[in-house]
Structure 1
Amino acid sequence: MGLHRCWHATLVIVSLLLSSLVDVSHTYDHESLDAFLCKQANKEIENPRTGVLYNVSLPSNFTGMQISVVRLRSFSLWMRGMNYSFFNLPPRSVSQSSAKRIVILFENLGYWSSHYYNVSNYTMVAPVFGVMAYSSSESAFIYQNIGFTIRGDPIRIRFPPVEQHGKNSTPICAKFSFGGLVKFRNMTKPYVCEARGQGHYTLVVPSSPKESYTRSHSKRFTKWWVLGFVIGFVGLVILVLILLALVKEAKRRRIRKLERNSSGELFDTFWIGETKLPLASSIRTQPILENEDAIR
């Protein structure tokens, strides 16, 4: 029973270590993040009013993200557009469906950006900003992703100033499209990117060969360190289990030997923990007086 519990605990620990190895090797799923943010907005915001901007509260493990939503009439978005924080949605923005109301979700992933997005051979120097459009219904504040297009001036996304990375490394705009594609475009103004639809955007600079090598080497080192620790831990546990089994078998052999070397008298046995021991009978031979007459 003890060996079974030890082995079960080992399997649990190994599974946790292997899951950490998967986390090291892969980024998080940004599509699942968008679905979670929509679900959280529907959960947190009750009886939303049209034209009011709401900040969405997130669990503590998402600290650092800033999410806001607003529901607008499609006609209002077409006529007046909207300005919010780093985003400027110009007039003549139209949704790709006939919904009367449209919900705009603004995302600032903060230092979580590199967990959900990355660009090969480039380094992100700004947070990932997202702007997404959804339809709204009577049953759900955010109902379905619909997207929107711009018929007039483009959307302008203003990023905070970033540190200079090298003498000739001017940041460029990067858009993360569906399917993992990344599109690049030069900034129209310092730290300003333009777009004509929903998506996620950031600023990047080309990675130096040294940075690329250091980043890939660090990931490989971490991966092999975790894998080596798992293999060593499992090997140690197996060795301990083998030693415990050998000790237990040695005790059993010693008891059997004691039973064989006995004078032929059968002994009862009893257990103390996992050890089997002989038990002598409690009935003793009654004493006999040698000279009964003397006593009388």
Structure 2
Amino acid sequence: MISFPSFLLISTILFTKIPPFTSQSSRFLDSILQDHAFRAFPHHRPKTGVIYDGNAPSNLTGTSVSALRLRTGSLRKRGFKGYKEFDIPKGIIENPYVKRVILVYQNLGNWSSVYYPLPGFFYLSPVVGLLAYNAVNLTGQDLPELDLRAPEDPILIKFESLSVLGNGSSPVCVFFDLFGGVAFDHVINGSFCSILTQGHVGIVVENSPAPAPARVPEDPIAGGGGGGGGRRGKGWWVGGSVAGGVLMAALVVVLVLWVRWCRGTRRMEKMRDAAERGVPLTVAAVGRAEVPVAMATRTKPVLETEYVT
């Protein structure tokens, strides 16, 4: 199996937290699958280090469960390679300490997005899980999980086949812990994920946003019996046109009145200037001097005696 330096893997774990998923249904599923996995052990002397495949519930077609019993000392010294998709390194510790541990494997198949919904992402692999239990009671139900951790090298998960989605997005690993937390990590060598504790893992890709549909202008005649959006838009357009026409007419009237007022003002100023200057008298030469003389009258005076014939 490919060996990765622990410091390199740990340094590349760039967790991006998102809001916790609804874990109530997934935790109930863990309890059911634990019971079905334990039923896979034979009643008489189950072997240590042997993988026993169990039968998933009939209403969860497509899922699979398995159980593996190990001595904790052996698990810590040697690890366990090839437990389905999981490669468990040496140095694994569990809390609280138990003499033997049972590792339950889950593969949720087409139920992955049902129990572990991830809005905005598409699953390229099924969600697989690894949970640890105390092996003291092989018939126990609703058992609490042990705290299983890898303080040295991480647990590697190899996904054999991935769905193909050609939208140009890069796949990422997603990890769901047992407390409702969700984190993302890099995919290693195209199909590997790594974890430091027990939980559920899958490979997802971000959904590309759908292009916005082209906006089709509404036909006011063929508006049909839909909503009143078109009628409201038409009303705003008509109202704006009327208001604009009224405003333009008012501006024209004001402009005409202003021009007339300017003309009248200029005419009054000319008349006022003429009145102030008076009527100029005609200048005529009388002897050697020039003196102003009045203009001749339009009607010559007639003596009264001239009226007498």
Give the TM-score normalised by the residue count of structure 2: 0.56
Number of corresponding residues: 187
CA distance in 2, matches of 1:182, 1:126: 17
Change (3 A) 1:137 1:36: same
CA distance in 2, matches of 1:188, 1:73: 30
Question: Hey, what does 1:107 align to over in structure 2?
Answer: 106
3-state SS of paired residue (2:59): helix
Question: Hey, what does 1:35 align to over in structure 2?
Answer: 31
Question: Hey, what does 2:129 align to over in structure 1?
Answer: 130
Question: Hey, what does 1:210 align to over in structure 2?
Answer: 210
3-state SS of paired residue (1:29): helix
Please provide the CA RMSD for this pair. 2.4
CA distance in 2, matches of 1:28, 1:162: 28
CA shift, 1:141, in A, is 6.0
CA distance in 1, matches of 2:107, 2:206: 22
Which ranges of 4 or more aligned residues in structure 1 deviate by more than 4 Å? none
Q: Which runs of 5+ in 1 are unaligned?
A: 1-25, 214-296
CA distance in 1, matches of 2:101, 2:77: 14
CA distance in 2, matches of 1:163, 1:58: 23
CA distance in 2, matches of 1:96, 1:124: 32
Change (3 A) 1:58 1:102: same
- Structure that is richer in helix per residue: 1
CA shift, 1:183, in A, is 0.2
Q: Which runs of 5+ in 2 are unaligned?
A: 1-21, 214-309
Question: Hey, what does 2:152 align to over in structure 1?
Answer: 152
User: In the alignment, is the contact (CA less than 8 A) between 1:136 and 1:144 conserved in 2?
Assistant: no
Question: Hey, what does 2:67 align to over in structure 1?
Answer: 69
Give the TM-score normalised by the residue count of structure 1: 0.58
Alignment of 1:200-239 (within 5 A): 200-210=200-210
Change (3 A) 1:122 1:107: same
Q: 1:79 aligns with which of 77, 80, 83?
A: 77
CA shift, 1:44, in A, is 4.5
User: Of the two, which has the highest radius of gyration?
Assistant: 2
Question: Hey, what does 1:52 align to over in structure 2?
Answer: 50
Counterpart residue identity of residue 112, structure 2: S
Counterpart residue identity of residue 58, structure 1: A
CA distance in 1, matches of 2:209, 2:119: 12
CA distance in 2, matches of 1:99, 1:134: 9
CA distance in 2, matches of 1:29, 1:36: 11
